[in-house]
Amino acid sequence: MQVLPLKKGIIYGPVSSRRLGPSLGVNLMPTGHKLCSYNCIYCHYGFTDIHSMKLDDKIEHIPTPLEVKRALEDYLEKDKNIDYITFSGNGEPTLYPWFSEVVDVVKKTRDRYVPSVKVAILSNSSTVDRPDIRKALGKLDIRIMKLDCGTEETWRHLNNPFKELNYTKMIEGLKQLKGIIIQTMFLKGRVDNTKDEEVDVWISRLKQIKPEDVQIYTCDRPVPDKGIEKVPKEVMQKIAEKAEREAKIPVRVF
């Protein structure tokens, strides 16, 4: 099976999200290549073409906040049957150089057309050490933040973060974000984060971060790394039950 094609525009969907239901996507990244601070072995868009934390020399390939506004307005003029507007797309949304501004733009447009719809983000958490990013994230209704691993070693094998990223700083940043949802991808095979010792350390991170909810899932779409495997449902359920029991946080399997 082939991985999924990249999004070809600013607005896409609505997507029938496992976690959010009918969700209208907002893609702030280039449409011709994948640009991300991670190169996850399971990403259904394939391996990262441009592995970076900066878009300074890619400005001509990304939309302006005004272009995002116009694209969202064009869609909402025709269809308002959505539950969420979600920042996601062809890479990490918080790498966008005008992220705080575009959050304001999307929220104002939402208020005008579909005030009951929530604005969400699916983020890989790579920028949460930055106070300006945490402040911008705080404006959103739903913040779904990735934490796939409890150890730096597994994080580097599974998520392949950009070389300058620091795992400890990421955890500290997540601890400072309130009212977040942690999402975790569990895999077996070449990299296995379902082992008891891996799960135990991951649970200890949940205790430190104190999210309001945890969503765990495994791959159900094509992935670029053929050495990984889907985790059986019964294993996922056991991980959820253990994490919920020990961390005292709701944990749901998707």
Residue whose entry in the numeric block shows the structure tokens 């506004």 = 69
Q: What is the pTM of this model?
A: 0.95
pLDDT mean over 80-96: 96
Residue 85 has pLDDT above 60, yes or no: yes
The fold of the 11-253 domain, in CATH, is: TIM Barrel (3.20.20)
Residue whose entry in the numeric block shows the structure tokens 């999200």 = 17
Give me 122's structure tokens. 């699916």
Give the largest CA-CA distance in the chain.
51
Give me 76's structure tokens. 């909402």
Residue 152 has pLDDT above 80, yes or no: yes
Domains of the chain, residue spans: 11-253
How many Cβ atoms are within 10 Å of 57's Cβ, its own excluded?
9
89 pLDDT band (50/70/90 cuts)? very high
Residue 145 has pLDDT above 80, yes or no: yes
Q: What does the pLDDT look like over 7-35, one tens digit per residue?
A: 999 999 998 877 778 899 999 999 998 99
**Cβ atoms 140, 119 nearer than 8 A:** yes
pLDDT mean over 176-192: 97
Give the Cα separation of 68 and 102 in Å (integer).
8
Q: What distances in angstroms separate CA 254 from CA 4, 98, 160, 185, one per listed residue?
A: 20, 32, 23, 10
At 3 the pLDDT is 84
Q: What does the pLDDT look like over 106-129, one tens digit per residue?
A: 999 999 999 999 999 999 999 999
Give me 59's structure tokens. 């400005």
Helix (H, G, I), strand (E, B) or coil at 16: strand
